[in-house]
Amino acid sequence: MSTIPAGIYTIDPVHSEVGFVVRHSGISKVRGRFTEFAGSFTIADDFADSSAQVTIQSASVHTGNEQRDGHLTSPDFWDAASNPEWTFTSTSVEGSGEEFTVHGDLTINGVTKQVSLEVEFEGALASGEGEEKVGFSAQTTISRKDYGLTWNVALEGGGLLVGDKVTISIEVQAAKQAVASQA
């Protein structure tokens, strides 16, 4: 079992992804991702004291369909003009090692709810130049309605156009911040 090196890490957005999946028309799933996000986390010597914070630019959604992206950022869904940032701030960490849970506050559209991210440590590596990197995968499922995202269309055969449950998946590569030497 590997150990996660203690330190402060900055998420590398080029090698990371924040994505989501939601049921569409009751028969398929639509996938999307956000292209602009930033964050950092601290792996503490006492793992339970570790923390994380992430900010997502809500207008940076990309589902592969420009019209759908425009609808998602409109007032029908998350009104990106009025709610440009979504945030996650951890409140506690449970477990240690390869798999653990990060509990925290997720704010979407000005609504904050407690969520739990199931996290898997993917590994650590040190480059020849001394840079340390770590990788994580995380996932949670939320209810759109909990965040006031209630727009929908009833389907003729029953059911709704957009499902309520949204699975959020996160793939993170992060670099350890260098410790400033004291002169």
Q: What is the per-residue pLDDT across 85-108, written as a single tens digit (0 to 9) for each?
A: 999 999 999 998 789 999 999 999
Residue 1 lies in a domain: no
Residue 92 lies in a domain: yes
* CATH classification at residue 109: 2.40.128.110
Provide the Cα torsion 21, 160, 141, 134; round to 10°. 10
User: Tell me: the pLDDT tens digits for 100-158?
Assistant: 999 999 999 999 999 999 999 999 998 777 789 999 999 999 999 999 888 777 767 77
Residue 37 lies in a domain: yes
AA identity, residue 80: A
Residue 25 lies in a domain: no
The total number of structural domains that make up the chain: 1
Could you tell me the residue range of the domain that residue 127 belongs to?
A: 7-18+33-143+171-176
Flag whether pLDDT at 179 surpasses 70. Answer: no
Residue 148 lies in a domain: no
Residue 97 lies in a domain: yes
Residue 27 lies in a domain: no
Q: What is the pTM of this model?
A: 0.88
User: Tell me: the pLDDT tens digits for 20-33?
Assistant: 998 887 777 999 99
Burial class (CB in 10 A: 0-12, 13-18, 19+), 168: buried
What's residue 1's pLDDT? 34
